[in-house]
C-alpha cells in the first residue's frame, strides 16, 4: 500500500504564479492534487511509449439510423475481444447512440482499436482516454 510523501520543490516564481492560475481555473483543491495529476499523466504517457499495459476508455457517438454501422462497430470490437473488457450502449436521443468501450492492454493496440472505430462511416465523435494501471 502506498503512503503519502511530502517533498520540497524549488520553482521559478513566475512559473508558480502561472501554475496557481491553472490550479484555480481547473478547480483543484490543492497544489498537491494538481501536481499529482500532472505526474500521473506524465507516467501514463511514458507507459504508453514503452508499450506497458494501460486501461483505455473509448467514447463514440454515432448515427442511430445507419443500421449497418452498429454491426460494423460490434465486428471491430470482436476482432479486439482480447482487450475489450466491456461496452455500454446508450440511446442518446432519437438520432444518436453513445457507446463507451473499456479496454485494457498495450496502448498501441487500444489506439489501433480506437482508430478503426472512429474511421467507421457514421461515427460523429470519438475520444480515447488512457489511464495507468500502476
Which residues contact Ni ion (rule: CB under 5 A)?
91, 97
The nearer residue to Ni ion, 62 or 80, going by C-beta atoms, is 62
Is 35 or 61 the residue whose CB approaches Ni ion more closely?
61
Residues 6 and 21: their CA atoms lie apart, in Å, by 22
Judged by DSSP in three states, 33 sits in helix
Q: How far is the CB of 41 from Ni ion (least distance, A)?
A: 32
Beta strands, E only, 17-122: 53-63, 84-91, 96-106
The minimum distance between CB 125 and Ni ion, in angstroms, equals: 14
Other CB atoms closer than 10 Å to residue 117's CB: what's the count? 21
The span from the CA of 42 to the CA of 21, in Å, is 20
Question: How many CA atoms are closer than 13 Å to the CA of 117, on its beta-carbon side?
Answer: 31
As measured in angstroms, the least distance from the Cβ of 121 to Ni ion is 17
Q: Which is nearer to Ni ion, 73 or 97 (CB)?
A: 97
What's the min distance (Å) between Cβ of 58 and Ni ion?
16
Q: At what angle do helices 67-79 and 107-118 cross, to 10 degrees?
A: 160
Nearest residue (beta carbon) to Ni ion: 97
CB-wise, 83 or 97, nearer to Ni ion? 97
Amino acid at each position: 500500500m502506498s503512503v503519502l510523501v511530502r517533498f520540497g520543490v524549488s520553482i521559478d516564481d513566475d512559473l508558480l504564479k502561472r501554475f496557481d492560475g491553472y490550479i484555480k481555473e481547473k478547480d483543484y483543491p490543492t497544489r498537491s492534487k494538481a501536481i499529482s495529476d500532472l505526474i500521473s499523466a506524465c507516467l501514463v504517457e511514458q507507459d504508453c511509449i514503452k508499450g506497458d499495459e494501460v486501461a483505455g476508455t473509448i467514447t463514440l457517438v454515432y448515427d442511430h439510423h445507419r443500421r449497418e454501422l452498429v454491426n460494423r462497430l460490434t465486428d471491430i470490437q470482436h476482432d479486439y475481444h482480447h482487450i475489450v473488457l466491456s461496452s455500454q450502449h446508450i440511446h442518446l436521443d432519437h438520432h444518436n447512440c453513445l457507446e463507451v468501450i473499456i479496454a485494457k492492454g498495450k496502448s498501441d493496440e487500444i489506439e489501433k482499436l480506437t482508430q478503426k472505430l472512429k474511421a467507421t462511416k457514421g461515427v460523429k465523435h470519438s475520444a480515447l482516454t488512457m489511464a495507468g494501471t500502476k
